[in-house]
Amino acid sequence: MFGLGTGEIFIVMVLALIFIGPERLPGMATKIGKWVREFKKSLEDVKNDFLDPPK
């Protein structure tokens, strides 16, 4: 995932916990998950438009 190893992911998670805080971290993770899903859907739509143009 993004060229990150287990150690780097662990460090990012610890830093997020420190800077965001345990109260706001679940909400932030939910928002980021929604953004990622919307971004992937948009990429898929663009890819489909290029591969299967309307006739």
Give yes or no for residue 25 having a pLDDT over 80: yes
Angle at CA 28, nearest 5°, toward 22 and 33?
A: 135
CA distance 47 to 26: 31
CA distance 11 to 44: 31
pLDDT of residue 52: 79
User: What's the token pair of residue 46?
Assistant: 């663009």
Q: What is the mean pLDDT of the chain?
A: 88
Q: What is the mean pLDDT of residues 9-32?
A: 91
Average the pLDDT over each of 11-15, 25-29, 41-45, 49-53 and give the range with the smallest value.
Answer: 49-53
Pick from 12, 38, 41: nearest CA to 25: 12
pLDDT of residue 55: 65
Global confidence as pTM = 0.62
User: What's the token pair of residue 42?
Assistant: 């948009």
